[in-house]
Amino acid sequence: MVRVVVGTCVVLLSACWPVQAQTLPSEPVTFANGRVTLSSDISVTFGSEDYGFFNYTDYEHSALRLALLALTASVQATDHLSVLADIRSQNGEVPEAYGLYVRIKPWSRHSFDIQVGRVPPTFGAFSRRNYAKDNLLIGYPLGYQYLTSLRSDALPADADELLRMRGRGWLTRYSVGDMAANPGVPLATAFRWDTGVQVHGASDKLDATVSVAAGTLSNPKVGNGSGGPHVAGRLAYHPVAGLVVGGSVSSGRFVSEAAADAAFAGSRVNHFTQRAWGADVEYSADYYLVRFEAIISNWTIPLQSLGGADLSLQAVSTLVEGRYKIGPRLYAAARAEHLGFSDITGSALGTNSWDAPVTRVELGGGYSIQRNLLLKVSYQHDDRPAGEVQHANLVAAQLSYWF
């Protein structure tokens, strides 16, 4: 990993220095009379070893030690039909199609389209800016990245078993369902796209998106492994220039049929869902940009010890972040966020939050070497009251390039 980071940084920096040369491509590549467009995002991040797995993602990589290569392709077949693909590789692994879908525009004069296939996430604001070039800092927001101790294919037999996994979302093991140790799920993943149908429409001040897909918000599926549809929607309002107010909803069946059967609740599998609500605000003016986002997620799972009776679990993530442009090429940024969990009561361990709450503060900034080559540095502090590592101070640097 170190060789990949150093080698990529040297190549990019040597290719573009001095700044005035602007030798790296800066615009998407088009051919076939403009009907085919190719663009790319490349980012290399190297930072502290995260022994507490605070930055572990559902692709089982640390966000602070990550080399990401993404290629986006768009083929305009007709005036009303296009095919789009988003292919990504992390840390040199085999490339994967994050997105692969057909876009249908019934009316050329109206901002309305239908997308079918593996489509971009509908829920939330950060899911639309998860590339390094769009993220103000290096770390990802807790609500979209931090792995809770919940799994859809494995369930705790009782409340005590769930409480023993507090702060262990990077590798959880339960006695009901799949008993192998595997990572848990975040509240909402921005890195695994939905498979289904998405409808989008926009006007001067409103932007609306609705989708029906497989899986759930925290655990999208390529196939419908959960056995039920995931319905999501988002509405964004632009009342004045620089201000965006958004709201999102999501509902889908979370627990797999095999896990529900093992918990003696197979006949009620459709009852075990994840439902989520999101709110976000963004305001920019002059040199300032300020954002707020909150996610509330409710999971319902069965407990084998209670004959498959319901256990309701809630998690709430909130963040505030901002950026100030110091100069044309230089900016400073900060993010403060918290991830909290509802309480449950175990017979042996008493009452506590079902997972360990996490607080994170990240400070940093970026310098534009050229318009599409950005160097970022950050310092991150994480705290939680459980887990093998409960406090972490982490530093990272990131070089991102796009065209």
What's the pLDDT band for 259 if we cut at 50, 70, 90? very high
Structure token digits, residue 5:
């980071």
**At which residue do the structure tokens 């505030």 appear?**
320
Q: Collapsing DSSP states into helix, strand and coil, what is residue 41?
A: strand
Domain boundaries of the chain, sorted by first residue: 122-402
Q: Is the dihedral of CA 82, 192, 26, 331 positive or negative?
A: positive
Fold of 122-402: Porin (2.40.160)
Q: What is the pLDDT of residue 23?
A: 61
Query: Could you tell me which residues come within 8 angstroms of residue 53 by beta carbon, excluding any fewer than 6 positions away?
Result: 62, 147, 169, 170, 171, 389
Q: What is the reported pTM?
A: 0.92
Q: What is the pLDDT of residue 45?
A: 98
Dump pLDDT digits (tens) for 262-304: 999 999 999 999 999 999 999 999 999 999 999 999 999 999 9
d(CA 125, CA 141): 11
d(CA 276, CA 208): 17
